Amino acid sequence: MEVKRGTAGKPVEAGHVKTPSIFVHGLRLGDRLYTFILIRFLVVGAIVVGAFFAPVVVGIQDLDVAGLVSLAAVLGGCNVITFLVVRPYHRNADRAAEARRFLEGVLHVTIFIDFICLTVAIWLVGGPQSPFQAFFIFHVIIASVLLSTRAAYIHTGIGYVLLTALVVGTWRGWIPPHYPRGAVPCGGILEGRYILTLLVVQGMLFALTALLLTHLMNLLRTDEAELVDANEELSRLSEMRRDFLHIAMHNLRSPVGAVSMMLSNMTSGYGGTLSEQHRQWVDRSQQRLEELSRFIHDLQFLSATEAGALEEHAEPVDMRDLLGRLVEENQDLARAREHVMTFESDDEAASVAGIPRLLREALVNLITNAITYTPEGGRITVRVQKRDQRVRVEVEDNGIGIALEDQGRLFQEFVRVQRDDAPTTKAPGSGLGLSIVRRIVEAHGGRVQIISELDKGSTFVVELPAA
Ligand code: ADP
């Protein structure tokens, strides 16, 4: 069956507020280390490939290929060990949090081994004149981002000492030089002034990088701590609100039931005949009570979707069957407003995994809204079809429609749209219906959209994963 759009207008999805997240802090130490290890495997590969290709492709001469490959083997071996040690903590935030000190230790050792390997690599590729010295900064950055301020400074210091030892050692002739021709600009000519300039510039670079990054990381950590606190406070308040809702609902339900029963006793004449005036008052009280109990009923569903009721076992629900029955059950209501309500469906089964009671509540809300917010003599079509592993339900009416600016917020609690030129908007209601629809649909892994145009009509689209 081809589902036609009855109304023009862009689909607007049910929106809700998302908790902000800072990407740096979203990653746990285990995950960060794991990423770091994967990058190091790439570096090992790059050293081996570079050692073989640099002489052949770029024409670098006197390159110590055996030395570089041995270095890659040592680095790769260490990395395999680290990989095996860290793997159990990858994507396991709780375990990583428990073993935080241990993982920090692993990180210290790996950064230290990296510095040693890097120093050897630089020695093999030109020492004081090697362009690869820049890789020292990379490790200063990693240490500053992943470790505490003190640890970052210690690693920066270690890196600088190693670089100084290499540069000064080569200059003084204590370390045999390696000058692969082509990779190093002026092999062999080392002056004290050059060595001094190099060490001062590198020292400043190391210090500034570490200072700036640790400062930034401290700011981010403070923000993160504030966010965590705010989040905890929010959860606490949300729990309080839920408890309050429960108590309020519980305490409201029984008196409303009791008063309603006493009023119907009065209308039935058990306490004597009522005057016309009394009968009117009683009728009006009953109407108001009816609205109040509908409101309590809505609140109950709202709290059911919050309190994890959806974790109850879901069961296969045939949406064709459910919608067919709902359309049938609501025909009287539609006829009372002189609407023509029809149901269309595919021949294919359209089952979803869900909780029938909740799905029913969501769909009833959409159908009764369509009946309510369409002026008398309207046309309402309920459709269901299966589309690429999703079941799509449409409730279309040719009613008053919804302005674009109102569409996004309709799914929030207690939002109602009142229009003086559309008397149907004055219908009694709580403004909770659509928020219940959204919660139920999202809790089932689906989504809701509105396609609507003012004064032309609305189509509410619910998409759920097919079972
Ligand atoms: P309630 O119906 O209790 O007011 P809902 O959350 O179900 O609460 O609906 C919120 C508002 O959305 C309604 O007050 C109405 O203004 C608007 N609305 C919902 N469905 C339709 C519809 N089919 N056509 C036009 N407006 C609608």
CATH at 387: 3.30.565.10
pLDDT for position 245:
80
The residue among 416, 424, 338 whose CA lies nearest residue 373 is 424
Clarify whether residues 300 and 347 are in a common domain. no
Clarify whether residues 86 and 135 are in a common domain. yes
Domain boundary among 190, 210, 225: 190
Q: Is the CB of residue 378 below 6 angstroms from any atom belonging to ligand 1?
A: no
Burial class (CB in 10 A: 0-12, 13-18, 19+), 134: exposed
Q: Is the CB of residue 345 below 6 angstroms from any atom belonging to ligand 1?
A: no
Asked if 142 and 125 touch (Cβ cutoff 8 Å), the reply is no
Clarify whether residues 438 and 331 are in a common domain. yes
Query: Cα(429) to centroid of ligand 1, in Å?
Result: 8
Q: Is the CB of residue 431 below 6 angstroms from any atom belonging to ligand 1?
A: yes
Is there a domain that residue 19 lies in? no
Report CA-CA distances (Å) from 322 to 103, 162, 382, 409, 454: 53, 73, 12, 28, 30
Clarify whether residues 360 and 303 are in a common domain. no
Report CA-CA distances (Å) from 439 to 343, 411, 462: 25, 9, 12
Is there a domain that residue 2 lies in? no
The predicted model scores a pTM of 0.52
58 Cβ contact list (under 8 Å, min separation 6): 182
Query: Cα(63) to centroid of ligand 1, in Å?
Result: 76
Q: How far apart are CA 124 and CA 175, in angstroms?
A: 11
CA end-to-end distance (rounded Å), the chain? 20
Closest ligand 1 atom to 425 CA? 16
pLDDT for position 309:
56
Clarify whether residues 300 and 329 are in a common domain. no
Closest ligand 1 atom to 397 CA? 23
Is there a domain that residue 270 lies in? yes
Q: How far apart are CA 36 and CA 266, in angstroms?
A: 78
Q: Is the CB of residue 402 below 6 angstroms from any atom belonging to ligand 1?
A: yes
pLDDT for position 310:
60
The residue among 369, 366, 381, 363 whose CA lies nearest residue 424 is 369
Which residues form the domain of 117?
25-190
Mean pLDDT by 10 residues, the chain (467 residues): 44 49 48 87 94 87 91 95 89 78 87 92 90 87 87 94 94 89 70 91 96 93 89 90 82 89 90 89 90 79 64 81 95 95 89 86 94 95 93 96 89 80 68 88 91 94 93
Helix, strand, or coil (residue 149): helix
Is there a domain that residue 199 lies in? no
pLDDT for position 3:
37
Q: Is the CB of residue 407 below 6 angstroms from any atom belonging to ligand 1?
A: no
Domain boundary among 257, 276, 310: 310
10 Cβ contact list (under 8 Å, min separation 6): 404, 451
Domain boundary among 282, 310, 338: 310
Clarify whether residues 131 and 277 are in a common domain. no
Is there a domain that residue 440 lies in? yes
* Among protein residues, the one whose CA lies closest to atom 13 of ligand 1: 416
Q: How far apart are CA 346 and CA 461, in angstroms?
A: 16
Clarify whether residues 93 and 55 are in a common domain. yes
- Residue 246: its H or E element: helix 192-267
Q: Is the CB of residue 433 below 6 angstroms from any atom belonging to ligand 1?
A: yes
Q: Is the CB of residue 79 below 6 angstroms from any atom belonging to ligand 1?
A: no
pLDDT for position 20:
34
